[in-house]
Structure 1
Amino acid sequence: MLRAALVGGLALAATGCAAERTLIFTSDPPGAQVRLDDEMVGTTPVEVPFLHYGTRRVTYYLEEHRTRSFLVEVKAPWYGRFPIDLISEILIPVGWKDRKRVHTVLEPSDRPTDVPTQRSVFDRAEVLRRAGPNGPREMPPIEVVPALPQPTEPAADDAPSSSGGASGQR
């Protein structure tokens, strides 16, 4: 009898975490790329499952529109707060659905999108490659020291001898 209750309890616990959490991203106009925290998740409209509540950074990208980035506070519903979540998600797996909608209006950009050329990307890569592991850094301006004037006439002891030969040799 005890064994049957234990197996039944384990089977019930295995079906737990029945809450389906989804973030739904939309934009006006549609078709924007969406980045959730540090991961590209799709093109609007897009639905993304999530596990944890809290603050998330959302960024929308759309050509010829301003990039829009902001923080979203994803709050847990009443049945997802501790200690109620132990009962609502594990002991009584009802199949809760928590769908959070995030919508934004993207403004057209006043200036054309700056698309880097392949040459500019290669040039920047070369600068970074030459900078070494510490990366490029600001260098202080080089102080220019004027050069000493060069003598125009040879000095007296540098002048060739008038005998025309090597002196002191026989």
Structure 2
Amino acid sequence: MSEETQHDGVDWVAVLEKAGRDYLARFPAGRTPLERVLLRRIEKRGGADQEMHAAPRQALQTVLDTLEQEGLFAVIGQLARERDILMKRGRSARMAVRKLADKGAPRDALSELDDADPELEFKAALNLARKRHIGPYRREEIDRGRALKEEGILARAGFGRDVIKRIMETSPDDLADI
């Protein structure tokens, strides 16, 4: 154990590395979100005294560099699974990728996620339509003004023209086949 990363008999590198690996095993995250999580852990354990945080912060940077070198941050496969989960909840692929970017996923990994399965995108739009009672799930007759509003809801959610058109053309009778 190095003197620089120890404080009050605690080997901060070991503590933070275990916590970081446990977190990454449960959640795909980038460097920035993991750093925030581990900083909260340091603050809980060390109190409000900033001078006492010097050793843990140095250990934190060491741990983050180690984990980054091992390639544990936001692997493309993990990001694709997270995107698909968000899409199953009714988000478009574009909005799901934006959400992952907000969480701190690396931009280069996100650029490879642009191509989503068109059928999964359609099912995401159907899920949103069901939640909002639009498209094939609407409860009353529709006029042109209401149709434009429904299309706007889907467009603001990030769905493309072809998906919106397909949703608007789907009838309630067709839902059994989907």
TM-score, L = length of structure 1:
0.21
Larger Rg over CA atoms:
1
Which of the pair has the greater relative contact order for Cα pairs under 8 Å at 6+ separation?
1
Higher strand share: 1
TM-score, L = length of structure 2:
0.21
Higher helix share: 2
